[in-house]
Amino acid sequence: MGKIRQMQQKFAATKRRISLKDSRIKKDDRIKDKKKKKSKIPEMKIITQTKASTALFFNYNTQLGPPYHVLLDTNFINFSIKTKLDVFKSMMDCLYAKCIPYITDCVMAELEKLGRKYKVALRIIKDPRFKRLTCLHKGTYADDCLVQRVTEHKCYIVATNDKDLKRRIRKIPGVPIMYTTRRKYSIERMPDAYGAPS
User: Residue 188: what are its φ and ψ, rounded to 5°?
Assistant: -125, 155
- d(CA 188, CA 198) in angstroms, rounded, equals 10
Predicted pLDDT at 195: 41
pLDDT tens column, 5-49: 766 666 655 556 667 677 777 766 665 555 555 556 677 788 887
pLDDT tens column, 109-160: 999 998 888 899 999 999 999 999 999 888 888 999 999 999 988 899 999 9
| Contact between residue 106 and residue 145 where contact means Cβ atoms under 8 Å apart | yes
Cα–Cα nearest to 179, from 195, 159, 194, 196:
159
Amino acid at 23: S
- d(CA 8, CA 141) in angstroms, rounded, equals 70
For residue 187, what are the β-bridge partners? 178
Whether the bond into 173 is cis, omega within 30 of 0: no
pLDDT at 193 over 50: no
> pTM, whole model, 2 decimals?
0.69
DSSP run (H or E) holding 19? none
E-only strand ranges, the chain: 56-57, 60-61, 68-72, 99-104, 131-133, 156-159, 177-181, 184-188
Domain ranges within the chain, ordered by starting residue: 62-188
The more confidently predicted of residues 63 and 133 is 133
CATH number belonging to the domain at 62-188, selected among 3.40.30.10, 1.10.3720.10, 3.40.50.1010, 1.10.540.10: 3.40.50.1010
- With cut-offs at 50, 70 and 90, classify the pLDDT of residue 196: very low
pLDDT tens column, 47-59: 887 777 777 776 6
